[in-house]
């Protein structure tokens, strides 16, 4: 009888071994399941542009007030955190992001951009010069761009972001600069960064 009671207690008692811990998919570093709906509000990227003198890094900051529209600026920081007298461009644009393609957990967002650029060939002066640039070091003009942004969702609602941009800016006063330049300036940019 005693052995029956012990056997019954053993069967009714909670199991002595613990269940293996459950793995929450949200704990993994890369979260491909978020790729379709990941919403990036602000991102900061660093990279290079063919519009800048070789070796001068470029920084881009992009904000997205609404799902289909982004506001982006890219530049070398001339006049802000550096003062080199090099040929370089700064960009200020609005970008339309019409659709998203997801491949293997990576969100691909093509973007069409319009805005303006500033080209400088020496020490940057404050402000933008859209008119006469006779003997000056900088001039501004309109630009159009086409870019592809690749976003990989990761923990903490962040995204790793890589962006490839091609475009062209038109500077009517470029031949008047202290170091004359072509009016049409095509460029390509590649940048990597982090967004949330």
49-58, 80-89, 112-121, 165-174: the lowest-pLDDT one? 80-89
In this prediction, residue 26 has a pLDDT band, given cuts at 50, 70 and 90, of low
More confident residue, 136 or 2: 136
Considering the domain boundaries, does residue 126 fall inside one? yes
Q: Which range of residues forms the domain containing residue 117?
A: 28-195
Considering the domain boundaries, does residue 9 fall inside one? no
Sign of CA dihedral 139, 130, 81, 192: negative
Q: What is the Cβ-side half-sphere exposure of residue 44, based on CA atoms within 13 angstroms?
A: 0
48-52, 110-114, 123-127, 188-192: the lowest-pLDDT one? 123-127
Determine the average pLDDT of the residues in 106-111.
Answer: 97
51-60, 87-96, 108-117, 151-160: the lowest-pLDDT one? 51-60
Per-residue model confidence (pLDDT) at position 9: 42
Considering the domain boundaries, does residue 62 fall inside one? yes
Percent helix, strand, coil in the chain, to 5, is 10, 50, 40
- Is the pLDDT at 4 greater than 90? The verdict is no
Please count the structural domains in the chain.
1
Considering the domain boundaries, does residue 2 fall inside one? no
Q: Are 171 and 137 in contact (CB under 8 A)?
A: no
Rama region for 79: left / alpha / beta (φ>0; ψ in -120 to 50; rest):
left
Per-residue model confidence (pLDDT) at position 81: 67
5-19, 63-77, 98-112: the lowest-pLDDT one? 5-19
Per-residue model confidence (pLDDT) at position 8: 45
Residue in this structure with the two tokens 């402000």, named with its chain if needed: 127
Q: What are phi and psi of 75, to 5 degrees?
A: -175, 180
What CATH number is attached to the domain comprising 163?
A: 2.40.160.20
Encode pLDDT of 142-186 as tens digits: 999 999 999 999 999 999 999 999 999 999 999 999 999 999 999
Retrieve residue 90's tokens: 């700064």
């Amino acid at each position: 009888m005693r052995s029956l009671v012990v056997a019954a207690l053993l069967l009714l008692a909670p199991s002595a071994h613990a269940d293996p811990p459950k793995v929450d998919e949200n704990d993994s570093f890369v979260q491909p399941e978020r790729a379709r709906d990941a919403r990036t509000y602000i991102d900061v990227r660093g990279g290079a542009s063919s519009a800048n003198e070789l070796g001068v890094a470029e920084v881009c900051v992009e904000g997205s007030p609404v799902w289909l529209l982004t506001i982006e600026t890219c530049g070398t920081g001339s006049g802000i955190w550096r003062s080199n007298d090099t040929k370089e461009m700064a960009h200020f644009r609005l970008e339309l992001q019409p659709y998203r393609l997801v491949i293997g957990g990576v969100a691909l967002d093509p973007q069409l951009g319009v805005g303006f650029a500033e080209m400088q060939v020496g020490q940057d002066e404050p402000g933008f010069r859209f008119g006469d640039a006779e003997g000056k070091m900088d001039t501004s003009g309109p630009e159009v761009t086409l870019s592809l942004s690749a976003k990989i969702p990761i923990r903490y609602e962040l995204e790793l972001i890589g962006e490839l941009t091609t475009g062209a800016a038109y500077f009517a006063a470029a031949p008047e600069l202290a170091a004359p330049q072509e009016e049409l300036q095509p460029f390509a940019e590649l940048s990597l960064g982090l967004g949330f």
